Every structure is written in C-alpha cells, then in structure tokens.
Amino acid sequence: NAGVMQNPRHLVRRRGQEARLRCSPMKGHSHVYWYRQLPEEGLKFMVYLQKENIIDESGMPKERFSAEFPKEGPSILRIQQVVRGDSAAYFCASSFSESAPLHFGNGTRLTVT
Amino acid sequence: KQEVTQIPAALSVPEGENLVLNCSFTDSAIYNLQWFRQDPGKGLTSLLLIQSSQREQTSGRLNASLDKSSGRSTLYIAASQPGDSATYLCAVSETMDSSYKLIFGSGTRLLVRP
C-alpha cells in the first residue's frame, strides 16, 4: 500500500544541465499535481495532470519547465538548462479525483551548483 | 490575490504545554482550509481539513478552528510532546473546481523540548 513515490530524493545538477524528477501516484490515483517549495517559502502550485493530459499549468514557469503524465509510467517534471534559482524541493501529490484530498510524496530536493 | 500568513515562524515550548498556531488569509472567500505537518526531509501529512461552512475540526490532541469572516484559523495542540516537533503548514483552496490548487503559508517550525 505504497504512498506517492518520488525519485530521486536528492538531485544535484550543474547550471545548464537538465533535471528530471519522477513521481508515481498512489495506487488507484489518476490525478497528479506538482508543487515547488523554494527556501524559506511556502509550497506553490505548479501543474495538474491527468493521464496524458495537462489540466492546469497556471503555476508553471513559462520557459524551461515541462511536465507529462504518460499512459504508462510515472509523471515526469523536466527542467531544462537549470539555474541556481531552480534549487528547491519539488513535491508531487496525487488524488483519486479532482476534488478528493491530495496525498503528498516526500519530495525531490534539487540543488543546482 | 490570496495570501496566507502564519505566525509565529518558529516556536519552542517545553513538553506538556498547550499551544496555539495561527494562520491568516487575506480573502475570506475560501472553499476549505487544511493544516499539514511536515517533518524534515519528508512530505506533507494532512492533519485536519475544515470546509468553509464549518467552524472547527478535532483529531485527538489537535483542534483547528476557522473564522472565515475574519480570515483566521488556529491550530490548538494540547499537552504537547517532543514527537510533535515539526513544521506546521496552513493552506487554503479558493473554489471547489480549484480545490487542488492549495495556497500555502510559510509554516511554523515547532520544537517541543523534553
């Protein structure tokens, strides 16, 4: 009865590299959400996906960030050409339906050197 | 634009004390409010969820109240224990259709000293 699984737990990238963060939702959940927690700030919504569809990306930065949730496999948050300001904890959450409570994973801590 | 503020930012108390954490939000038109607990290096655990029509929710030693008109919520922890040490986050959602879009405060870091 695993919860939301995120990997890797920690990721270090040099400026200009790409970062790929993975999220496997809870069993039976088809709604996935990504949040970002910058140092000393609250979590902020980034994107909401259902299988193969982006439902709401109003919190995603316009450039370098993308997300997908394919028919098979985990959801991926991709950050191209990372900069130091991308250093943060990225949390994934999932839910059974759009209005159901969110269940959060343990996050991926991204450090850009 | 909805903003959520939590006071204090950090709190240190001796074991056994009753304590209150505060959360305020700028726009009273909310759908619900949640309190979460975040342990270092871990994810968020939902503690209590209060719908906008409710005044309070209780779970064990925890009690959360909501005063929507004044834009405030409090989390009351009775008989605090060292295991309660964590960061407590308050979050609101504004509509049912966007209930997944939580707006978080920056949290209160609680340390309960043995």
- The letter for the amino acid at B54 is Q
Tell me if chain A has a CB within 8 Å of the CB of B88. Answer: no
List all residues 6 or more positions away from A84 whose beta carbon is below 8 Å from its beta carbon.
A15, A112, A113
**Per-residue confidence (pLDDT) for residue A78, from 0 to 100:** 98
Reading the block at residue A1, the tokens are 């009865």
For residue B89, list chain A residues with Cβ-Cβ distance below 8 A.
Answer: 42-43
List all residues 6 or more positions away from B80 whose beta carbon is below 8 Å from its beta carbon.
B13, B15, B16, B17, B18, B19, B110, B112
Q: How far is A32 from chain B (nearest CA, A)?
A: 10
Is-contact B49 A101, C-beta < 8 A? yes
- The letter for the amino acid at A66 is S
Tell me if chain A has a CB within 8 Å of the CB of B42. Answer: yes
Length of chain B: 114
Specify the pairing of strand B10-14 against strand B108-113.
parallel
- The letter for the amino acid at A98 is E
**What does the radius of gyration of chain A's CA atoms come to, in whole angstroms?**
13
Q: Which of B43, B91, B107 sits opposite A107 (nearest CB)?
A: B43
Tell me if chain A has a CB within 8 Å of the CB of B26. Answer: no
**Per-residue confidence (pLDDT) for residue A100, from 0 to 100:** 86
d(CA B2, CA B98): 13
**Per-residue confidence (pLDDT) for residue A39, from 0 to 100:** 85
Tell me if chain B has a CB within 8 Å of the CB of A45. Answer: yes
pLDDT tens-place string over residues B50-99 = 999 999 999 999 999 999 999 999 999 999 999 999 999 999 999 988 99
d(CA A100, CA B43): 18
Distance of CA A73 to the CA centre of its chain: 14
List all residues 6 or more positions away from B112 whose beta carbon is below 8 Å from its beta carbon.
B13, B14, B15, B17, B80, B81, B82, B83, B84, B85
List all residues 6 or more positions away from A40 whose beta carbon is below 8 Å from its beta carbon.
B106
Interface test with A, best of B100, B101, B102, B103 (most A CBs within 10 A): B100
For chain A, give the longest Cα–Cα distance.
38
Is-contact B90 B35, C-beta < 8 A? yes
Bridge partners of A103? A94
Tell me if chain A has a CB within 8 Å of the CB of B46. Answer: yes
Average pLDDT, chain B: 95
**Per-residue confidence (pLDDT) for residue B41, from 0 to 100:** 82
Binary contact (B100, A42; C-beta < 8 A): no
Stretches where chain A sits below pLDDT 70 are 1
**Per-residue confidence (pLDDT) for residue A1, from 0 to 100:** 55
